[in-house]
């Protein structure tokens, strides 16, 4: 079963370039079921599915184009999309569904170190900026 996702359920201001990560509680294998990603209008999003990683507990859903800004997306994974390696014949309880909303597509600073107006910072300390999406 799913342990967590990134973005999280109902997360907002998600980057339009975000890959969708699904983390499972135990090692799994692809079993042939379906995954759907749709926008708020119900239109499907084309995506690729990564190989399983982290001892077969993590998988990425990779949109083939940037997502639309300020749009709610829903991911639905059918109950037979993956099976656990420990008990492959046990059916999953139900489909797994979660949603998130993208933010605007403007580049902005998400965090900085040192923070603005910090005093007594050594002149040789590096300045770190984290942006809302990757810079290319």
Domain containing 89 — which CATH number? 2.60.40.1220
Write down the pTM of the prediction: 0.76
Residue-number span of the structural domain to which 10 is assigned: 2-104
- How many domains, in total, are found in the chain? 1
| Structural domain contains residue 15 | yes
Q: Give strand ranges (E) for the chain.
A: 2-6, 11-14, 20-24, 28-30, 35-39, 47-49, 58-63, 72-77, 82-84, 96-102, 109-113, 128-131
* Residue that has been written with the tokens 């979660």 in this structure: 98
| Structural domain contains residue 124 | no
| Structural domain contains residue 24 | yes
| Structural domain contains residue 7 | yes
| Structural domain contains residue 125 | no
| Structural domain contains residue 81 | yes
Residue-wise pLDDT for 78-97, tens only, equals 998 998 888 877 767 789 99
60 pLDDT higher than 80: yes
**Residues 6 or more apart in contact with residue 107 via CB below 8 angstroms:** 131, 132, 133, 135
Residue-wise pLDDT for 3-51, tens only, equals 999 999 999 999 888 899 999 999 999 988 899 999 999 999 999 999 9
| Structural domain contains residue 127 | no
| Structural domain contains residue 128 | no
pLDDT value of position 110 = 67
């Amino acid at each position: 079963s799913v342990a967590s996702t990134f973005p999280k359920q109902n997360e907002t201001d998600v980057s339009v370039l975000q890959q969708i990560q699904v983390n499972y509680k135990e090692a799994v294998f692809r079993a042939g079921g379906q995954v759907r990603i749709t926008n708020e209008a119900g239109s499907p999003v084309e995506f690729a599915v990564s190989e399983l990683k982290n001892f077969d507990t993590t998988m990425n859903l990779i949109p083939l184009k940037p997502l639309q800004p300020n749009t709610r997306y829903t991911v639905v994974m059918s109950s037979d999309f993956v099976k656990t390696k420990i008990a492959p014949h046990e059916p999953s309880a139900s489909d797994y569904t979660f949603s998130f909303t993208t933010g605007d597509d403007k580049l902005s600073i998400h965090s900085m170190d040192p923070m603005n107006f910090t005093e007594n910072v050594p002149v040789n300390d590096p300045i770190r900026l984290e942006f809302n999406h990757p810079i290319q």
